């Protein structure tokens, strides 16, 4: 075994984590004016109801597990050449395809369309499993909440995941543009980014529950009166870039539609229960 190489891997992992934790501390230090009380005795459901805030389903009290997660952005040109060699197919995605660093764009060939919206997830899964159409397609899962079959630009979104939790970030995503033709949604083209070598930087942590983060948004006035909580999901979000590596943390994403029909997506760090909607991604360059 190459113990020297392993030692460098551990050194880099702990360096990423220490820099990340320092950034979290600095962020928290500058947000002392934000309220994070979660000990109210009145149930969150009653408080939402009293202010005419609607939602569907029940807020889970379960505490899932999550990680500090690290990965390297994939060079899509290199990935395409590697897949051509692996599949012994030099013509793989040779037509209507372009790569630009970490992004691949492809005009979809063949008949791929959704004719029954109840089967959207099934149709998308079938498409992603076609090795002649998508690189690493089996690594991606349908993100229903941020996909849409309505409006001027119908789009399907799929993302990589780690142990069941998706990565809701543009660095790990396939976005498929559709066209509405004769009561069916035809796959036109897609853009793709990908993360390689996804690994946890530390052991798993117990995360704040869905109920707790809804409470946090409420007490911090992030859910206005007469609004609607359209959806919420747990996903990894990008918080730090360190020398070519991305670091993600688990966060709760909550879409809130106000009485004027405008939707805002709030993010709450699932490790700290802090609102991070307007946080910027910290970057550590090479020294």
CATH number of domain containing 92: 3.30.310.160
Domain's final residue, options 198, 224, 245: 198
Residues 156 and 171 in one domain: yes
CA angle, 173 as apex, 227 and 200 as ends, to 5°? Answer: 95
Q: CA–CA separation, 285 vs 22, rounded Å?
A: 16
For the chain, give the longest Cα–Cα distance: 64
Residues 176 and 92 in one domain: yes
Q: What pLDDT does residue 111 have?
A: 85
Domain's final residue, options 198, 228, 244: 198
Residues 116 and 168 in one domain: yes
Please tell me which residue, 52 or 42, carries the higher pLDDT value.
52
Residues 110 and 194 in one domain: yes
Residues 186 and 81 in one domain: yes
Residues 123 and 185 in one domain: yes
pLDDT class of 110 with cuts at 50, 70, 90 = confident
**CATH code assigned at 226:** 2.40.128.690
Q: CA–CA separation, 59 vs 233, rounded Å?
A: 11
Q: What pLDDT does residue 28 have?
A: 42
Residues 79 and 192 in one domain: yes
Q: What pLDDT does residue 7 have?
A: 52
Count of structural domains within the chain: 2
Residues 192 and 205 in one domain: no
Q: Which class for 36: exposed (0-12), middle (13-18), buried (19 or more C-beta within 10 A)?
A: middle
**pLDDT tops 70 at residue 98:** yes
Q: What pLDDT does residue 159 have?
A: 98
Residues 180 and 212 in one domain: no
Q: What pLDDT does residue 12 have?
A: 57
Q: Which class for 41: exposed (0-12), middle (13-18), buried (19 or more C-beta within 10 A)?
A: exposed
Residue 75 — φ and ψ, nearest 5°? -75, 110
Write out pLDDT tens, residues 240-257: 999 899 999 999 999 999
Residues 112 and 32 in one domain: no
Strands 282-284 and 228-242: parallel
Residues 95 and 192 in one domain: yes
Domain around 175: 74-198
**pLDDT tops 90 at residue 38:** no
Residues 126 and 58 in one domain: no
Q: CA–CA separation, 5 vs 8, rounded Å?
A: 5
């Amino acid at each position: 075994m190459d113990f020297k190489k392993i030692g460098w891997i551990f050194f880099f992992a702990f360096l990423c984590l220490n820099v990340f934790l320092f950034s979290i501390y600095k962020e928290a230090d500058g947000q002392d004016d934000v309220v994070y009380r979660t000990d109210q005795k009145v149930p969150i459901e009653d408080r939402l109801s009293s202010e005419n805030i609607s939602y569907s389903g029940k807020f889970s009290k379960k505490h899932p597990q999550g990680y500090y997660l690290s990965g390297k952005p994939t060079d899509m040109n290199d990935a395409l050449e590697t897949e051509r060699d692996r599949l012994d197919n030099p013509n793989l995605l040779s037509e209507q395809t372009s790569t630009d660093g970490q992004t691949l764009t492809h005009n979809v060939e063949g008949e791929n369309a959704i004719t029954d919206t109840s089967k959207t997830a099934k149709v998308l899964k079938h498409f992603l499993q076609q090795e002649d159409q998508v690189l690493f397609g089996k690594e991606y899962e349908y993100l229903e909440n941020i996909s849409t079959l309505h409006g001027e630009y119908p789009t399907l979104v799929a993302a990589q995941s780690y142990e069941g939790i998706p990565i809701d970030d543009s660095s790990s995503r396939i976005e498929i543009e559709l066209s509405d033709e004769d009561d069916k949604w035809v796959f036109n083209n897609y853009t793709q980014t990908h993360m390689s070598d996804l690994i946890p930087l530390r052991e798993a942590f117990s995360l704040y529950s869905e109920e707790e983060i809804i409470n946090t948004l409420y007490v911090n006035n992030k859910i206005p009166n007469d609004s609607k909580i359209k959806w919420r999901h747990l996903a990894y979000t990008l918080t730090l870039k360190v020398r070519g590596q991305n670091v993600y943390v688990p966060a709760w994403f909550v879409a809130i539609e106000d009485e004027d029909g405008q939707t805002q997506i709030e993010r709450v760090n699932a490790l700290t229960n802090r609102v991070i909607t307007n946080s910027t991604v910290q970057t550590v360059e090479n020294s």
